[in-house]
Structure 1
């Protein structure tokens, strides 16, 4: 019961940290959670959760790395395979060798094998910590992918080095050949094991679906238990469980794109469930770190062997040395690749990107778990030399690297971010006009589709056969749009809310076109205005963010229309050729209307097809939706005012808005 209460308190701390972070955005959430964990450990309640290293790895690290494997872009990682391996393998072993001798020279009371063990657990960067930092610091895309790939692989190399350093400390024997063979077996075996198990689990899920069990909750539950099963099985086979769950996540992503692209509901439920799990696991990792820092600090101080200020100096020197070694390794490797490789493909080495990559090498959960897995005694029963000091220094390096990355990286990135923001503001007005024009054109297009579909129910008997064939063609296009929307959501190109909106519209269109289904009334202009405004209106304070979101929706619709065109072309037959080409031409016109150059002649011709009153009704619907969002507290008045002013500017910029009555009725205030 006491453990259950402690877990509830930890979850409450996670909730509190997220709330506090909203008011103190300058303080990184992981660092805030570490501080709250320390305060919880020092509180009168004395919260203390025992840390079992093996349980920690399977409960926290396995699902987090599995999710990272699912979400990491494989094509981009493959392009960066050489620098990733240079960091994940070369830098790890260089750190063990150089830092090991450095630690032994700095603190002679730590034997050389134990120093190698400490260097080994400090060598791998942490994917969880890197992801937490990257969400706040907008690193260049290439650097971010490099860090993600490095963190997914270097855990295995670091743990192998740690294992053999501990074995050498316990037995006094070390074999380089045995260590090399063990590393190859653990790396290759773990990768193959994880990929094979993930493939089998996916086949099982497909079989369950074919038996008629298609509940999204059951499929999501199978996804959640997959990383635990893969990790435990790999560890039983004495291969790398860490690499196994990463490989399993990658295989899952590949199979999911092929087998589940049309199951949009499953993807949405899965994404929502994983988001909650990741919030809890990430928070618990950093809170657990905070809980144990006072413990190891107290043990180190009570031992009396070292003064606390001296130990903190050791931590600062060791952390700075790791940053310096990482920077030199990255810059030297970059320079060597540029000198020996093709200079047309590799840019000239630069200090700032190398420094950003070096400072982003944050340590985290793997380091903490490995430190606590150090045995208490040697084979002869004597205490492990300086075990508490090693754990304290590992925790100190974690905090030092996290604080440095959290506060120094934003300063280095500030200039680039300011330039990017200025550029966004510069294009804001023109971009807002163009995107809102595309929004209104999108309303028109969807209205025309719905009206046309509804009209099919009252066509004359002699044209019914032709209408049914046209419905079949349109249903093919709608299914292709649905699959493309699922793919866009899976690749994080559209948000969960946008995916829901697309699914809602496609379901309505499919209902209108399905033979034998009673036709509901066509959606009103207000309904369509509410739908489109739901796509484009988002919370926030920056009009640039609104523009970026709207641009992503426009690009998504273009991709969906192109997917529908491709699907319909594949189904063209002699008996439906004329109808298919007609529908394809309609989709092509939609693509043209939503394209960036649609404001030209083609756009003007499309505008002339509609009466001004429809424009007025659409703008009214958008305005009413904005006011409703303000009244419900989902939209700030500041952003709403900007949206309304931008909408006013759009209405003045369109040629058919010259009617004074339209301008008077269209403008308004909150």
Structure 2
């Protein structure tokens, strides 16, 4: 009887815990969804991350009683692999190869500089903190958050080259910062540090992570290609498997003792390079929609969880203050001092890096313009710290091997949270006006490249259609059918001809573009009329829901193409 009663109690406790997890998850999702509505209601524009952090902090106030403790290991497993995988998949291969020098200088060189500068500065500022522990804090503060920068800049145009550098830096410096953190913690706990051993371990961990990610992505692509050839395309199953790939890469990397984060990044870049979704329309569309929704939800939950930790960190600030024997004013000044150090060191590093790259380019005979101070300032202020920094600082051990508290841990948590909030606030105030003052080329290189690519694809389409028309003409036995086929082919080719000669400024070209704008407006009006008629037919019972959804799907696809400007006069 006692065993049965104990089993019932255990089952009831498990059910209550499961319900708590489900309800908490739903509240977090509701908070993320509500943040967009609140932004639209505010009389002034605030970046979504700041609103989500504020909502998370409000939920953690004791009156609401909702607090989610951020477990670093669970956080790194659940949120980081899919987000980095998606960013790596979207990272342009050509730009990544061309900008590998600046990206490496920021993601590796600047991380090492940050670790050293912060370590020595914190040891000088707080003598009770050992130098090795200061290096650990430097590693915590080194990763940047490109997602927060994108949300802050909003509709402001970031120069393409700068955007790719920031994206590449954020992809790579998470791994380098966390590996450096591992060495900092080990040095603090053991009191010993060997630079050659650390450098060798870093190379092995990084190279191993990249190799694991590449191998898993290549194996996934081969298996998927085989299944597609054998059974045909199964979009839902393949997208679900693709969603699991970054988690598998991360877990495999961590299990083998290498960088799971770099493994996820390598998997995304590998799939991008081998075009694993080539030729499968439905899978590509489902995949695109799934990742867009997942990124929105996961990024939102990350910032809400970040806000959830702030009241607890502030509540324990007194303990942190007592551990190092300083007053409140000094404790409050530490995040400002560290942020100033991070900004100054980043500005100097970016300035030196760009000067060296310009000098090397000029020695090769390239005509390179002088580096703008606004570009350097923008790159500096875009070094926003985010949830990776908070998760990293919370992963610091509570005690050393002998049971004594880890030196400065409470102060480090307070400083990291303060630097995150201050860097977000600073970027919110300064980045948008800076970006508006940056002079961009009159003709966006991306737009020019897109026009040229569309012209090349249009020429290929016209050649293929012309070949099919001639082939059908030679094989047709009925003259009327051959004439009809030629007429239809000419009509299809006519849709491609406006994309030819994209750089022409002739009057007929400008007139044709105005005509495309009119055509877009008329087509959208016609699609809206179709949609209204379908709703009317369903209301009156003349068609059922299945019929309406099938026709509506075609209408929605056409409207999405028109509204994106891909097939309109936006050329």
TM-score by length of 2: 0.78
Separation (CA, whole Å) in 1 of partners of 2:348 and 2:358 = 15
| Residue matched to 2:295 | 278
Q: Which residue of 260, 265, 280 corresponds with 2:277?
A: 260
> Closer, same or farther in 2 for the Cα pair 1:386/1:214, shift >3 Å?
same
Mean alpha-carbon deviation: is it higher for 50-59 or for 336-345?
336-345
| Residue matched to 1:562 | 459
Q: Is the 8 A contact 1:592 1:598 kept in 2?
A: no
Separation (CA, whole Å) in 2 of partners of 1:214 and 1:110 = 58
| Residue matched to 2:40 | 22
> Closer, same or farther in 2 for the Cα pair 1:31/1:591, shift >3 Å?
same
Could you say what secondary structure the match of 2:237 adopts?
A: helix
1:348 maps onto 2:370 in alignment: yes
1:395 maps onto 2:414 in alignment: no
| Residue matched to 1:662 | none
Separation (CA, whole Å) in 2 of partners of 1:621 and 1:573 = 32
Mean alpha-carbon deviation: is it higher for 195-204 or for 209-218?
209-218
1:146 maps onto 2:165 in alignment: yes
Q: Is the 8 A contact 1:111 1:385 kept in 2?
A: yes
Mean alpha-carbon deviation: is it higher for 584-593 or for 264-273?
584-593
> Closer, same or farther in 2 for the Cα pair 1:266/1:623, shift >3 Å?
closer
Separation (CA, whole Å) in 2 of partners of 1:179 and 1:134 = 37
1:163 maps onto 2:182 in alignment: yes
Separation (CA, whole Å) in 2 of partners of 1:381 and 1:122 = 26
Could you say what secondary structure the match of 1:251 adopts?
A: helix
Separation (CA, whole Å) in 2 of partners of 1:303 and 1:297 = 10
Separation (CA, whole Å) in 1 of partners of 2:111 and 2:299 = 24
Offset of 1:206 from its aligned partner?
1.9
> Closer, same or farther in 2 for the Cα pair 1:103/1:630, shift >3 Å?
farther
Q: Is the 8 A contact 2:123 2:130 kept in 1?
A: yes
Q: Which residue of 40, 55, 58 corresponds with 2:59?
A: 40
Offset of 1:286 from its aligned partner?
0.7
1:318 maps onto 2:338 in alignment: yes
> Closer, same or farther in 2 for the Cα pair 1:366/1:574, shift >3 Å?
same
Offset of 1:101 from its aligned partner?
0.3
| Residue matched to 1:370 | 392
| Residue matched to 1:410 | 432
> Closer, same or farther in 2 for the Cα pair 1:82/1:303, shift >3 Å?
closer
Offset of 1:590 from its aligned partner?
4.3
Offset of 1:43 from its aligned partner?
4.5
Q: Is the 8 A contact 1:61 1:365 kept in 2?
A: no
Separation (CA, whole Å) in 2 of partners of 1:342 and 1:583 = 55
1:295 maps onto 2:317 in alignment: no
| Residue matched to 1:335 | 355
Separation (CA, whole Å) in 2 of partners of 1:375 and 1:127 = 27
> Closer, same or farther in 2 for the Cα pair 1:56/1:566, shift >3 Å?
farther
Q: Is the 8 A contact 2:86 2:268 kept in 1?
A: yes
| Residue matched to 1:637 | none
| Residue matched to 1:455 | none
Could you say what secondary structure the match of 1:211 adopts?
A: helix
Q: List runs of 5+ in structure 1 lacking aligned partners.
A: 425-492, 494-547, 608-615, 633-649, 651-670
Separation (CA, whole Å) in 1 of partners of 2:417 and 2:103 = 26
TM-score by length of 1: 0.67
Q: Is the 8 A contact 1:30 1:132 kept in 2?
A: yes
Offset of 1:552 from its aligned partner?
12
Q: Which residue of 286, 295, 319 corresponds with 1:269?
A: 286
Separation (CA, whole Å) in 2 of partners of 1:37 and 1:554 = 44
Separation (CA, whole Å) in 2 of partners of 1:323 and 1:37 = 27
Q: Is the 8 A contact 2:339 2:422 kept in 1?
A: yes
- CA deviations 1:64-104 (Å, max 9, x no partner) are 00000011111111111111111111111111111210111
Offset of 1:303 from its aligned partner?
4.8
Q: Is the 8 A contact 1:561 1:590 kept in 2?
A: no
> Closer, same or farther in 2 for the Cα pair 1:187/1:572, shift >3 Å?
farther
Offset of 1:562 from its aligned partner?
2.9
Separation (CA, whole Å) in 2 of partners of 1:584 and 1:286 = 53
Offset of 1:402 from its aligned partner?
1.2
Aligned residue pairs: how many?
495
Offset of 1:240 from its aligned partner?
0.8
Structure 1 segment 491-570 matched on structure 2, within 5 A: 561-567=458-464
Separation (CA, whole Å) in 1 of partners of 2:352 and 2:173 = 19
> Closer, same or farther in 2 for the Cα pair 1:383/1:223, shift >3 Å?
same
1:84 maps onto 2:103 in alignment: yes
Separation (CA, whole Å) in 2 of partners of 1:261 and 1:77 = 21
Q: Which residue of 79, 83, 86 corresponds with 1:67?
A: 86
- CA deviations 1:612-637 (Å, max 9, x no partner) are xxxx99987765667899999xxxxx
| Residue matched to 1:185 | 204
Q: Is the 8 A contact 1:28 1:406 kept in 2?
A: yes
Question: Which of 1 and 2 has greater Rg?
Answer: 1
| Residue matched to 1:515 | none
Q: Is the 8 A contact 1:65 1:127 kept in 2?
A: no
Q: List runs of 5+ in structure 2 lacking aligned partners.
A: 1-18, 476-481, 536-568
Separation (CA, whole Å) in 2 of partners of 1:361 and 1:121 = 14
Q: Which residue of 361, 372, 375 corresponds with 2:383?
A: 361
Offset of 1:245 from its aligned partner?
0.6
- CA deviations 1:338-386 (Å, max 9, x no partner) are 2344262533222110010010011112211111110011011111112
Could you say what secondary structure the match of 1:361 adopts?
A: coil
Q: Is the 8 A contact 1:3 1:49 kept in 2?
A: no
Separation (CA, whole Å) in 2 of partners of 1:235 and 1:106 = 35
